[in-house]
Amino acid sequence: MNGEIVSSIGQGALVFIGICSTDNAKDMEYMVRKILSIRIFDDENEKKWKKSLVDNDFEVLCVSQFTLYNTWKGLKPDFHLAMPSEHSKEFYENFIEMLKSKYKPDKVKDGIFGAYMQVSLQNDGPVTLEIESPAQPEKTSKKTKSAHVNKTTEDTGDLAER
């Protein structure tokens, strides 16, 4: 708070979570499973794309990022596709709890929901991947729940509130 480090990880993944207005529990379950399962790390023989966060016992730092659901109105961003904050806070907190329940709670970190933060990242590769949950039949927007996963090196993911 006030310039202090709120959360920090070593090697692992920095995940920016976008929550769409139509997201539901199935989207949440899919994203948690995907984040923990994707193979974005090298194995012990330096073969690419062989190990997951779980395989390596790495950490994950999650940041709520409603701006992932922007559209454009002229030159200004519009965020009407994002879930309103009065609903997305609970959704995000449930997402973090589910991630902790499926992995190791001490390996899952996050920031302060809705706070203006400075995020420091040392991107390994660099690798940044976008993951979308499969569209549900009732979804009308072109995007569903979104996460941007950034592979990090040691001592790299920091969150400080401004």
Please tell me the chain's helix, strand, coil percentages from 3-state DSSP, rounded to the nearest 5. Answer: 25, 35, 40
How crowded is residue 89: how many other Cβ atoms within 10 Å of its Cβ? Answer: 15
Contacts made by residues 82-87, CB under 8 angstroms, sequence distance 24+ = 82/18, 82/19, 82/20, 82/21, 83/19, 83/20, 83/21, 83/23, 84/21, 85/114
Structure tokens, 79: 């965020």
Structure tokens, 47: 């073969």
Q: Which of 67, 71, 128, 152 is catalytic?
A: 67
**Is 67 annotated in the active site?**
yes
Taking the C-alpha atoms of residue 22 and residue 36, their distance in angstroms, rounded to an integer, is 23
Active site residue ranges: 67
